[in-house]
Structure 1
């Protein structure tokens, strides 16, 4: 299936920011992350949610966050704040609205209908957070439920809780779920972001998890601290060697047209290698265009 995005958008580092914290919202304007999630859910106390909603909507509408992708995470379906959050977010018109604990294709369709009823701009897409065993088993259906859904977001903390598992280096208890979610996202042609890393002081552990996520195929990682941004940006961008190889493959492919067999560095080149090389260069060019790294 084709990707719902018309152009590649880097999402190496997507930072959660508590919308009840005015100082954090101001600081976010200068953080070199690819995206910001203005959080109305976990990071906001119940009595602060109405004010946080106003702050998040004002931030999105301010035009002061540059080229960063701006997302509002609203409270989930069935919570007392969901309907007001959805109405406010749609009126503000962020790049996307993220919704926690999406468990089915029907819920996706319900959310998209609510977005359309509330007059969300066409450019505002839906990000579905998948964070339960039920969601893992239905990720393909969730991802395919609507063209308006553009990104799946792993909720690894909740998944660990639901599995009665433990947070361990290497994330062995989560690998089956991570794999199912990746398969579902890629089958539907959607982007997918890895979950957060909790120990903000453990730089080595964080970088190892970024590397694991990149190797598995995630587009980037959601973050809980500005200090994690640089590491994610580096981990999820193509290396200089990968870019050089991609250019070499495409050059060899172009020069070898009509010969029947094309090789590069003594390896046979097929269409699949060309497609991978093109994606690498598309990623590289999009990141370079940001002009921040």
Structure 2
């Protein structure tokens, strides 16, 4: 099984329409872990080229601090795709997000396109998983290239393709979410949960964040700045989890390699120690933000 070597915080990753220069400016002040500067759904046909210029200038500016800046280009087969891919590669963002990736061959083709356009080594591919084809191929997609760093769930498109409904608990999507998570974890790459559409329903949003966290997602994609702070809190280890992790490590070290110890009446073995170490590593990174 693959394993990420260093934790990159992606608790909150916010879509921003690149046609809106005020929004791009505001993003510099938001407490968000990552940004997806969008050239696709949030931008009308008449504004695609100016949005491309805005996104590439923002990504190359170095003005977003420790926020991970990515660009979502238009999908394979659209009239804007090739120009978007070349321009994004030249701008050198942290990632190029591609909608509706359906196969491992598409991943390899996209990576070849990035490299042909001179993308720097740090510019990774983020693949959106949002069709039935992608779900059936997600294991191969996740392992298709070392340049693929993140899977992004496109839950709105999945709901549409399945002819399902958005319902609390997301029953119609559970199979797709869990298969994608399995694929990401096997490949050792990150995976982000899909967006929550009702920006006025704070309670529903927080419940979906908790569900995504409990499933094992690294974070959640967002559509409104007001969603950032609750998302950051939910996807970071709680004070109780941090204290418990520290207690587990102390008990383990006190056991001096005996193989099994107890902490608060619970049996602790190697796997619990690994989980505790990850909790503390995540806590250390997010506390420094």
TM-score relative to the length of structure 2: 0.98
The aligned residue for residue 2 of structure 2 is 2
Question: How far apart, in 2, do the equivalents of 1:260 and 1:53 lie?
Answer: 56
Question: How far apart, in 2, do the equivalents of 1:248 and 1:145 lie?
Answer: 39
2:150 partner SS: strand
* Aligned-pair CA distance for 1:2: 2.9
C-alpha distance after superposition, 1:217-257 (max 9, x if no partner) = 11100000000001100110000000011111111111112
C-alpha distance after superposition, 1:143-198 (max 9, x if no partner) = 00011101000000000000000011111111111111111111111110000000
The aligned residue for residue 251 of structure 1 is 250
Determine if the alignment matches structure 1 residue 54 to structure 2 residue 53. yes
Equivalences for 1:145-160 in 2 at 5 Å? 145-160=144-159
- Are the aligned partners of 2:11 and 2:235 in contact in 1 as well (CA < 8 Å)? yes
Equivalences for 1:75-154 in 2 at 5 Å? 75-154=74-153
Q: What are structure 2's unaligned runs of at least 5 residues?
A: none
Question: How far apart, in 2, do the equivalents of 1:260 and 1:156 lie?
Answer: 42
* Aligned-pair CA distance for 1:261: 3.2
Question: How far apart, in 2, do the equivalents of 1:147 and 1:54 lie?
Answer: 28
The aligned residue for residue 36 of structure 2 is 37
Determine if the alignment matches structure 1 residue 283 to structure 2 residue 286. no
Question: How far apart, in 2, do the equivalents of 1:153 and 1:258 lie?
Answer: 40
* Aligned-pair CA distance for 1:260: 4.5
Q: How many pairs are equivalent?
A: 289
Question: How far apart, in 1, do the equivalents of 2:280 and 2:5 lie?
Answer: 16
The aligned residue for residue 220 of structure 2 is 221
2:96 partner SS: strand
Question: How far apart, in 2, do the equivalents of 1:121 and 1:110 lie?
Answer: 17
The aligned residue for residue 189 of structure 2 is 190
1:137 partner SS: helix
2:125 partner SS: strand
* Aligned-pair CA distance for 1:284: 0.3
* Aligned-pair CA distance for 1:63: 1.2
Question: How far apart, in 2, do the equivalents of 1:56 and 1:111 lie?
Answer: 19
1:150 partner SS: strand
The aligned residue for residue 211 of structure 2 is 212
1:17 partner SS: strand
* Aligned-pair CA distance for 1:259: 3.3
Moved over 4 A (4+): none
- Are the aligned partners of 2:2 and 2:186 in contact in 1 as well (CA < 8 Å)? no
* Aligned-pair CA distance for 1:137: 1.5
Which 10-residue stretch deviates more, 181-190 or 258-267? 258-267
2:209 partner SS: helix
TM-score relative to the length of structure 1: 0.97
The aligned residue for residue 178 of structure 2 is 179
Question: How far apart, in 2, do the equivalents of 1:88 and 1:198 lie?
Answer: 30
Question: How far apart, in 2, do the equivalents of 1:226 and 1:88 lie?
Answer: 27
2:107 partner SS: helix
